Structure 1
């Protein structure tokens, strides 16, 4: 509870500091414009370091000239005396996460490959390194307590049908839940749970199949991973999400933990 309180406080302090800095630049009264609105930077996803000395977070900027938005990672000391910009590439970065031993900061970015992958930054210095190479986008990841592995949710894309440039391939609908606002046609791609070893960079899939897995969480002994999934016949016709757990090793079988009707998380 204390950690959650500190994270909430950190988010408030960062937002207030940014507002004060922007206000200090306005030396005279004038009417607000749309440029002023877009000049505000949005701070999100604050993460407290294991020692409690630093806060990592993302800052979103709007570039009106190029009609783009970028998202980069910063780190501020708890006493507010130092602020460091950790990333500044052409591609945005998301979800900064300290390793439990405090040596690394992992994040998601589409650098190089065009797909969201996991990058690792050694906090002792040096450039960030891409440590995952999934076929689809990484949507979530969580450090194990011993800082040796990552539980990863990554998309398993469906092979594309060749397009001759004249007639696009047909969209085949054979499931009840086939369309989402802001996403479009869902198709057959699925998001699965993997375990990524930090030393070897090898990723093993834990949950192959036709279902999606979300919200991974490690057990305290780093041997099992809990996750949320919606399974059973015609699972896309209901909202019955259940909790599952699986050993963090290839070939393990998932076991269902809850049977309540409705969404569990």
Structure 2
């Protein structure tokens, strides 16, 4: 259903996921207390992460089920897919290990996801949308935090913290695991893995960041993005994972060909949530006031992808925008932000014009995501 037009008449479509769990009145069995109880909560499935197929025809989403049997007590998530109108829904992954964070391939033929199927830490897997066995993409010790397909579909970028060293693992087994607070930080690093197998069918994994650079930041929102030509990645970083270091977060670009990292800005503000424009010439990002304060008051800004001066966009209502991405024609950016007691989506023109509401004041919008064409949400 078309809800509202973007500025410049770019259409936006809204897609919804619904898991039918039955009515509350029919949930209680004979002899059980009526009304809402913790036991009833655990019987209901929970819809989690959502991903829209390119073009918006289908939706992938995770569904969590409470498993309480024998010595097992946990939520297990599996990935489901359905048409955008809710038809033809089916479960795509199965097993006793969770599958989370579904992301469609750029051609819409497969879905990548995270799962600890072969060990204690989450790794990357891929499964074809028409079914079959899932294929393991990475086998890393650190545990992957998040990932993002390259637009050309040939590789995937991901964030992973520094894994424990052999000496640290041995000390842990021997119960010599005391540590000094705020020392030996496990920083999250930016990696890229090729989806084209190399020698002996092994996929090459490259670490793109090192040193005193913790990637991803602390403040909400996505904090890295591919350039449209899949040659560069823009990302947020700060010196350490410490919470207070969000005030030192910066935005840089790394070239996949050379490995060179270039800072886009050098200011006393905290920059985060960078997104490449559709033509790859500019980067939109969220910028704090100077000096950064825990009130998190921020503005949206745009800078050329090779650095330089910035352009400040119109203020958002609450000065706490979560950047979702650019419009398909590059004339505006989309944000999610609190408005009164609800969360709304706004379109903010890059020419400095006032924000335009995309969702109504009476609608609570949670987990908004865009498809790769930037025309559906």
Deviations along 1:191-237, one digit per CA (max 9) or x if unpaired, are 111111111221111112232112221001111001100149x9965
Give the corresponding residue for 1:80: 86
Is 1:41 equivalent to 2:38 in the alignment?
A: no
Q: How far does the alpha carbon of each residue in 1:116-151 deviate from its partner, in whole angstroms, 9 at most, with x for none?
A: 100010223310011112231111110111111111
**1:252 paired to 2:249:** no
Change (3 A) 1:264 1:51: closer
> Taking structure 1 as the reference length, what is the TM-score of the superposition?
0.81
- TM-score, length basis structure 2: 0.59
CA displacement at 1:26 relative to structure 2:
1.5
Partners of 1:28 and 1:235 lie apart in 2 by 44
SS at match of 2:41: helix
Please identify which structure carries the higher helix content: 1
Query: 1:56 is matched with which residue?
Result: 60
Find the residue that maps to 2:178 and give its secondary structure: coil
Residue matched to 2:291: none
Structure 2, gaps ≥5 residues long: 1-5, 198-202, 217-222, 274-377
Q: Does 1:31 align with 2:41?
A: no
Q: Secondary structure at the match of 1:135?
A: coil
Q: Across the two proteins, how many residue pairs are aligned to each other?
A: 244
Deviations 1:30-54 (A, max 9, x none): 7123321211211021111113221
RMSD, aligned CA = 2.8
| Structure 1 residue matching 2:126: 3-state secondary structure | strand
List runs of 5+ in structure 1 lacking aligned partners.
179-186
CA distance, structure 2, for counterparts of residue 155 and residue 41 of structure 1: 31
116, 127, 132: which one aligns with 1:121: 127
Secondary structure, in 3 states, of the residue corresponding to 1:258?
coil
Following superposition, the deviation at residue 164 of structure 1 comes to: 8.7
Say which structure, 1 or 2, has more relative contact order (CA 8 Å, 6+ apart). Answer: 2
- Tell which deviates more after alignment, 206-215 or 116-125: 206-215
Note closer, same or farther for the CA distance 1:256–1:3 as it changes in structure 2 (3 Å cut): farther
| Alignment match, 1:184 | none
Among 95, 106, 113, the alignment partner of 1:89 is: 95
- Secondary structure at the counterpart of residue 22 of structure 1: coil
2:143 corresponds to: 137
Deviation at 1:87, TM superposition (A): 1.1
Alignment of 1:71-220 (within 5 A): 71-159=77-165, 160-161=167-168, 162-163=170-171, 168-173=176-181, 175=182, 187-200=184-197, 201-214=203-216, 215-220=223-228
Contact preservation (8 Å) 1:247, 1:253: yes
